[in-house]
Structure 1
Amino acid sequence: MGYFSKLVGVCAAVTLLSVAVVGAEEKDPLKPRVAPDQMADAKAMKNPVASTPESIAKGKALYEGKGTCFNCHGKEGKGDGPAGAILNPSPRNFTNCKFHKKRKDGELFWVIKNGSAGTGMVSLIPAAINEEEAWMIINYERSFCKGGEE
């Protein structure tokens, strides 16, 4: 295969990936992902890390760095990251304010710690991040909702 043919193939693949990313839609955005028998405990958990500009900035660095959250959830939290394009259901869209109003911090923490069956979300604690870092990431994820009713 010549250089031009390879280039066309790569461009086609990138175009398909871009279409998949743009067209990715989260299924059941309000559906909880915590195991039903653990929901009460998850909802009762409180974030021990205050949501401050500093903790949000640290959460952003973790989200885009060693937490690798951006790979699936995208840099802007829309669930449109490059790895998320192949997932079904697609990753959570953290810009969806209805999602944030429905979910408690403890539920988000539970999913980060335990993963989410039937989705591409895997357990990140302690494999990639520690518990305090997870809470900072949650503070950052909350910042994607700008207070609207999306």
Structure 2
Amino acid sequence: MMVFSFIWTPLLAQEFEPLRPRVPVEERSMARKMLPPFGSTKRATPSIIAEGKALYEGKGTCISCHGESGLGDGEVGRSLNPSPRNFTNCRFHARRRDGELFWILKNGSPGTGMVPMIPVTITEEEAWKILAYERSFCRDWQR
């Protein structure tokens, strides 16, 4: 008699249209003009990125959906369909301006599990720091 044993691991749902803008057309122009207090996430200092990492993993609870490595494979995120944003996708970072990402943190992303985080969970200042850290998942972003 043969006995088969395996570990069941759920497959991640696919990220929904990763390059499509999530900010509504009527608000996109305004959102694209918004900048972090430190000028740009490309200019974020190592200390800002470190603060963003601490917020991402702690108070902001981002890690629970987006995962430790930013792949969208966090413990909670594995049950979401579509799956959370994959922050290692450099094409996504190249297409989205800082203000668009901030808008998502403030307003959520309809049709996904992303809910508004500002001011319920984090402050605007903390959001900019988290975004600087999220951008760091794309190795090419800060070059």
**TM-score computed with the length of structure 1 as normaliser:** 0.83
State the 1:59 CA deviation.
0.1
Identity %: 58
Match of 2:29 in 1: 40
Whether the 8 Å contact between 1:24 and 1:80 is mirrored in structure 2 is no
**TM-score computed with the length of structure 2 as normaliser:** 0.87
Count the aligned residue pairs: 132
Hey, which bits of structure 1, 4+ residues long, moved more than 2 A? none
State the 1:112 CA deviation.
0.2
Matched residues in 2 for 1:73 and 1:46: separation? 23
Of the three residues 10, 24, 49, the one matched with 1:19 is 10
Matched residues in 2 for 1:107 and 1:39: separation? 7
Gaps in structure 1 of 5+ consecutive residues: 1-11
Matched residues in 1 for 2:14 and 2:53: separation? 23
* 1:39-118 → structure 2 map (5 Å cutoff): 39-49=28-38, 50-118=43-111
State the 1:137 CA deviation.
0.3
**Superposed CA offset, 1:84-106 (max 9, x none):** 11211111000000000000000
